[in-house]
Amino acid sequence: MALKIIKLIMKIYILKSISIAMLLALTITAQAKEYYVSPKGNDTNSGTIYLPFKTIQKAADLMVAGDVCFIREGIYHETVTPKNSGTVVKTIRFEAYNNENVILDGTKLVEGKWTKYKGNIYKTKVEANKIDQLFADTAMMIEARWPNMKSTEVFDRSKWAAVDYGSKHGMIVSEAIAKTGIDWTGAQAYLNVAHQWWTWCRPIISHKVGSKELNYAADLVGLCDYTPEFRKPDNLLNAWADDYFYLFGKLEALDVEKEWYFNPKTKELYFYAPEGKNPATLNVTYKVTDYGFYAKDKNYISIKGINFFACTFLLEDCNHCIVANSNLKFPSYARTITEYDQERKESVFSKIVGDYNKVDHISISFANNLGLMTMGNYNEVTNSIIHDVNWSGTLIYPALQLSASPHLGVNWFNTIQYPPTPRTPENSDVTSFGNVAGNNTLYNCGGPILVYHAAQSIVEYNHIYDGGLACKDVSLVYGCWPFSHSSTVRYNWVHGCITEDYHSKEKRGGLGIRCDDQSRHNIFHHNVVWDCGDIGIIAKGDDNIIYNNTVFNCRSSIEMPQKAEPLKVWAVQWPRLLNENVNTRAFNNLINNLKASRNPKDTLAANDKLFNNYIAQKPYPLRDISKRDFRPLENSDIVDNGVSMSYAENKYSGKFPDMGAYEADGELWIPGAKWAENNDWMKVLVKTK
């Protein structure tokens, strides 16, 4: 009887609690305020739909947890900074009203009078201390440079000049430079030199007209103050014979249409407009704003349906925030590679730092540096499109980067367990994990496309292609050192990494998927990798698992080094293995070969760790490669000939798994974003003068 009374009391208490929660939710909804903003509004208004504010910031200053700001169609020139955070049940929301076209525009109109300088070059005064990026009717113009380049040729290697024999660290030798008739002293040089997976920018400190020698400070350093290696190419005496550069920052270089030059001392802007037009007939603007949206130490903020032109967002130490349904065009631009400049400052790019943040259904295009970075734990980037980024080809600017928390302790690597222990307040400095990149389309990148270096990251159902367009020794998917431990790369299409070879100018380099030095327990399965000049999948370190991948048209399908881990200056703090991949397993893969190194003779034999892989030659036993139907041919040798392992993901319909990435009678899964990019939203930016 007593037990029944206790149960009845508990039931009443639970019902009462639920009623209180429902009442609280209704109270929260009732208390939430709606603010409206319109370019036609006024910040002295009340912020209603009939009397809207003029600026989004006016609403941001007033909003508290649960409030929403509805933004009407138009162009806004501001940096929105929320004053308060939301809560788990009361998010602060910034949204385009009824899917109207809302644009945060980071540019300013050139309003001065244009006068002819010479030929088709005009000039005007601009009240600015610097101009890094110029637009004409939303099309990006090119800062005057040599060799000349069009905005559609940012990945064209022929638009960089090749160095000549005698070049060394601190000096470029170029016969072509001697013929320009320009004194390049004081100009800036982009230098894709040495190992060519970093690029630097340095001023020319001395040069004379007609000289083939240009001198710059011999202080090129990269990560951890690592001085670059200037390797000697095969069969060549010149250790710099495969290096490239271009020059900019001189008025004398302004010689073709769509080029411009700005003199910060005189504040004069020189412009050779498209087709030699008078710039006064065009909508000429220059970038003045880095961030259209900035938040620091704020939580539960939602940004939806807001487009960005020539500016981007930064959420710094923010948690549980959302950016969705947005387009970003020319979101970031770094005139030099500031991370490797003498001041060593991080450049401006689209970035979220914190935990449990989500980016969904956005597009990012034409950022000359990094596309998007998330740093922290349990962040997600899904159903998004990122392309045409990292024009310099340096390693630190991928299209998408999933990074570890910046707040890690220094000894986290020594505490790693497999699988890692969950993150708690007691071990919050141990590791950083749980980030996801799923169903994204990522393409056209000067360097690596997707970089992950947070533990237990998941990279799945992405379509990743055409990277390494401005460098070499590069992979499209890059797991970075021990940071990436216990991550999974699965159900992706990865293709199109044809770069110059590691030691020469032959087009036979490029990697598909890689976990790099001192990686541990990376898992690669059900990926399709093709048309990578060098290696399809390479796993360094140990305890990796590689199964049910389809790899073809690569010089090496899968490579697993079997030697001691190399000693490198940036990795001295981590323990090294005397023999890599002792415990790595590879099975059920449809491949051309399985190797231990780039040496064609260094083929790995089957054993208890490397087993049941199908070595295929053309024609491959796949339905239709030309139509990207990578399912096995019915009744082929790879159907039902896989093995099922307890530690693998086993999704199959037959008696046994098929070999390769697809089941013969299974779903033809298609990776990538589930929408097509449309730039019609930019039309409102072009004003008729």
Domain boundary pick from 245, 267, 286? 286
Cβ-Cβ contacts under 8 Å for 274 (sequence gap 6 or more): 136, 139, 257, 258, 282
pLDDT: which is higher, 600 or 158: 158
Residue 262 lies in a domain: yes
Domain boundary pick from 310, 339, 369? 369
Residue 686 lies in a domain: no
Residue 12 lies in a domain: yes
Q: Are residues 82 and 10 part of one domain?
A: no
pLDDT at 560: 97
Percent of the chain with pLDDT over 90: 77
Token digits of residue 436: 């996801």
Q: Are residues 569 and 514 part of one domain?
A: yes
Residue 689 lies in a domain: no
pLDDT at 453: 87
pLDDT tens, 163-220?
988 888 899 999 999 999 999 999 999 999 887 888 999 999 999 999 999 999 988 8
Q: Are residues 337 and 442 part of one domain?
A: no
pLDDT at 9: 43
Residue 524 lies in a domain: yes
Q: Are residues 143 and 116 part of one domain?
A: yes
pLDDT tens, 591-615?
999 999 988 899 999 999 999 999 9
pLDDT at 600: 83
Express the helix, strand and coil content of the chain in percent, nearest 5 each. 15, 35, 55
pLDDT tens, 479-514?
988 888 899 999 999 999 999 876 677 778 899 999
Confidence of residue 4 (pLDDT cuts 50, 70, 90): low
pLDDT at 196: 81
pLDDT at 511: 97
Percent of the chain with pLDDT over 70: 88
Half-sphere exposure of 528 (CA within 13 A, CB side): 20
Q: Are residues 363 and 250 part of one domain?
A: no
pLDDT at 506: 75
Domain boundary pick from 369, 393, 420? 369
Cβ atoms of residues 580 and 620 within 8 Å: no
Q: Are residues 8 and 140 part of one domain?
A: no
Q: Are residues 9 and 68 part of one domain?
A: no
pLDDT tens, 22-35?
444 444 445 789 99
For residue 3, give its domain range. Answer: 1-30
For residue 314, which of 354, 286, 263, 278 has the smallest C-alpha distance? 354
Domain count, the chain: 4
Q: Are residues 297 and 279 part of one domain?
A: no
Residue 37 lies in a domain: no
Q: Are residues 406 and 484 part of one domain?
A: yes
Confidence of residue 438 (pLDDT cuts 50, 70, 90): very high
For residues 417-432, average pLDDT = 46
For residue 247, which of 208, 196, 189, 300 has the smallest C-alpha distance? 189
pLDDT at 416: 46
Confidence of residue 126 (pLDDT cuts 50, 70, 90): very high
Confidence of residue 421 (pLDDT cuts 50, 70, 90): very low
Residue 392 lies in a domain: yes
For the stretch 179-210, what's the b/e string if a residue is b when 16 or more beta carbons lie within 10 angstroms of its beta carbon?
A: ebebbbeebbbbbbbbbbbbbbbbbbeebeee
Q: Are residues 251 and 102 part of one domain?
A: no
- Lowest model confidence (mean pLDDT) among 390-404, 558-572, 636-650: 558-572
Task: For the chain, give the mean pLDDT.
Answer: 90
pLDDT tens, 212-246?
999 999 888 766 666 666 655 544 445 566 789 99
Q: Are residues 325 and 183 part of one domain?
A: no
pLDDT tens, 297-321?
999 999 999 999 999 999 999 999 9
Cβ atoms of residues 100 and 114 within 8 Å: no
Helix (H) or strand (E) holding 9: helix 2-31
Token digits of residue 410: 């220094």
Residue 39 lies in a domain: no
Q: Are residues 540 and 421 part of one domain?
A: yes
- Lowest model confidence (mean pLDDT) among 419-423, 471-475, 579-583, 657-661: 419-423
